[in-house]
Structure formats: structure tokens, C-alpha cells
Amino acid sequence: MYERKIEENLDCGIYLASRVFGGKWKCCILDAINRGIARPVDICSYIPDASKRVIEMQLAELLFYGIIEKSSEDTYPKKSEYSLSIVGKSILPLLAQMDEWGLAHYEFVKERQKELQIS
């Protein structure tokens, strides 16, 4: 986990929420786990754009915050499986709403993005 130099203000609910599941790939990871993709290898192939390392790190963070749970710690060849905790499941409606918003405004945003390319 990173060592912060500037203190955070977690008193704002939105800020706190984005601390917990606002990483670049955390939502995707939660989505994967929710779909039953439980093992790190499989999550990596499910999200090929994310580096293996960042998935490991964000899994560790989500575990730390109690958003996900881990089973079968020390068997070899390691076959860790992750699942959503109760708190983790409480995030799902939010993710769904975010995804819905994003898809609904896909064209709208892409349009602007394109303008950026031209200019």
C-alpha cells in the first residue's frame, strides 16, 4: 500500500467511497468477482488491459478494506479464490448505476473526446 504524504479528508462520503473503490481497475475487479471470476489468473485474463501487478495490489487493498474475502490461503499450487463480502455486495447497485450512466452517455462523451483529437 502506498505511503501518503498529504493527509486525506475522508469525512466526505463521496471521497471515502472513491478511496475504497475508486482505483483505475477496482470496479472492473469487483465486477469480475461478482460474475464468479474468482481466481487472480482469471481476473487477469478478464481484464487484459490492466497489469498483473496492479490487479494483485488492488485485490490486496480491497481485501484490506474488507470489500472482498479470500479462501484457501496456503495450498500449493496456490489456488486463491476471492468473493465479495457483504459490504462488497453493497457496492454492486452503485457500480450498476455508474455503468448504466456511462453507457447511456457513451456517445455524448465520445463526441467530445473526438474533438480533442482533431484540435
Partner DNA sequence: ACAATAACCGAAAAAAGATTCGGTATAATA
Partner DNA sequence: TATTATACCGAATCTTTTTTCGGTTATTGT
* Residues contributing to the site for DNA (CB under 7 A): 2-6, 23-25, 39-41, 49-54, 56-60, 70, 73, 75-80
Q: Select 75 or 113, whichever has its Cβ closest to DNA.
A: 75
Region binding a second copy by CB under 8 A among candidate stretches 37-45, 52-60, 71-79, 84-92: 84-92
- Choose among 67, 48, 55: nearest CA to 29: 55
**Contact with a second copy (CB under 8 A) among 22, 51, 71, 114:** 22
- Euclidean distance between CA atoms 40 and 80, whole angstroms: 7
For 112, the grid coordinates are 467530445
- Tell me the three state secondary structure of residue 104: helix
Place of cell 448505476: 97
Containing 68, the helix (H) or strand (E) segment is strand 68-71
Residue 14 binding target from a second copy, DNA, none, CB below 5 to 8 Å by type: a second copy
How far is the C-alpha of 111 from the C-alpha of 62, rounded, in Å? 34
Q: Which does 31 bind (CB under 5 to 8 A by kind): DNA, a second copy, none?
A: a second copy
Q: Does 71 bind a second copy (CB under 8 A)?
A: no
